[in-house]
Amino acid sequence: MNLNELDMEMLERYIDHDLSDDEKSSLEQRIATEPNLHQELNRLQFTRDAIQNFGLRKKVESIHDEMMREMKDASGKTIQINITRRISWYRIAASILLLAGLFGLYKYLTPSPDKLFKDIDTPFTIGVTRGSNDTEALVQSYRQKDYSTVLQIFSTILKPQARDIFFAAQSHYANKNFNQAITLFKQVIELQKQHHQLDVIEDAEYFIAMSYIQLNQLGQARPFLEKIHTDPNHRYHDKVSSLTLLRLKLAH
């Protein structure tokens, strides 16, 4: 079902934050219940984000100005157009993206969760560890990729420390038991915050996000990846670019 001109204008004004509160509320209710409206909003947002990320806005605006000039007759009077909406640079941009053969770009920016995972995946590297005998045995088993033994040792520890829980979470992660991994990684974060420790909290944040991606729960992964991206000192900052977040948004 094609949208009418008024709906298109409302979507464009919505993206530009140019609606009144009542108009915004009414449109958001429709977006939530009308798939074609939601799909068109995603298309327009993609166009805007692609422009911002690939430096096309000036080119689009120059074409827009040229089109406006061509709408004037020889006497300099503007030709009347039988539509009330403004000519949207979003739609001009969409045409440029199409005509330039950048559909492949759209496909790149809208990956499957599996492709997104592979593009930003990085293995966990064990540093120097110090702890109880149980912790040392657990870490040694993890180094040997004996994840069953890691989980067996973990189950016998009466008062596990954050690192014990972390290696158990990593073992679940390696075994693709992502829900269990997420639960334990979150425990690691909470425990480290309570004790003002940071040694594995950033690893836990990253692997929670990666677990959610594997579960195709991209909305759950997004806040963790945004936190990593906005912190230049985060251990995994270089794995999460603004383009990564754009791809995540479009895939969700």
Ramachandran region, residue 196 (left: φ > 0; alpha: ψ -120 to 50; beta: rest):
left
Query: Is 106 within 8 Å of 81 (Cβ atoms)?
Result: no
Give the tens place of pLDDT for each residue, 241-250.
887 887 787 7
Query: Is 90 within 8 Å of 130 (Cβ atoms)?
Result: no
pLDDT band for position 105 (cuts 50, 70, 90): low
Query: Is 169 within 8 Å of 204 (Cβ atoms)?
Result: yes
**pTM for the model:** 0.59
| Res 11 pLDDT > 70 | yes
Give the tens place of pLDDT for each residue, 160-210.
999 899 999 999 999 999 999 999 999 999 999 998 888 889 999 999 999
pLDDT band for position 115 (cuts 50, 70, 90): confident
User: Can you tell me the mean pLDDT for 64-77?
Assistant: 54
Q: Report how far apart, in Å, the C-alpha atoms of 188 and of each of 5, 72, 96, 126, 218 are.
A: 52, 66, 48, 16, 21
User: Could you give the percent of the chain with pLDDT greater than 70?
Assistant: 69
84-107 CB burial, b ≥16 within 10 A, e <16: eeeebbbbbbbebbeeeebeeeee
CA geometry: angle 107, 226, 40, nearest 5 deg:
40
Structure tokens, 44 = 């327009």
pLDDT band for position 50 (cuts 50, 70, 90): low
| Res 78 pLDDT > 60 | no
How confident is the model at residue 13, as a pLDDT? 85
More confident residue, 149 or 98: 149
Query: Is 169 within 8 Å of 207 (Cβ atoms)?
Result: yes
More confident residue, 6 or 186: 186
How confident is the model at residue 97, as a pLDDT? 55
* 88: Cα separation from own chain's centroid: 26
Give the tens place of pLDDT for each residue, 143-154.
999 999 999 999
How confident is the model at residue 9, as a pLDDT? 83
Structure tokens, 150 = 């890691």
Average of per-residue pLDDT values in the chain = 78
pLDDT band for position 42 (cuts 50, 70, 90): confident
User: Can you tell me the mean pLDDT for 229-251?
Assistant: 84
Query: Cα–Cα distance between 204 and 166 in angstroms, integer?
Result: 7
* Residue of 173, 167, 77 whose CA lies nearest to 126: 167
pLDDT band for position 117 (cuts 50, 70, 90): confident
- For residue 72, the 8-state DSSP code is B
> How many C-beta atoms surround the C-beta of residue 138 within 10 A?
28
How confident is the model at residue 155, as a pLDDT? 93
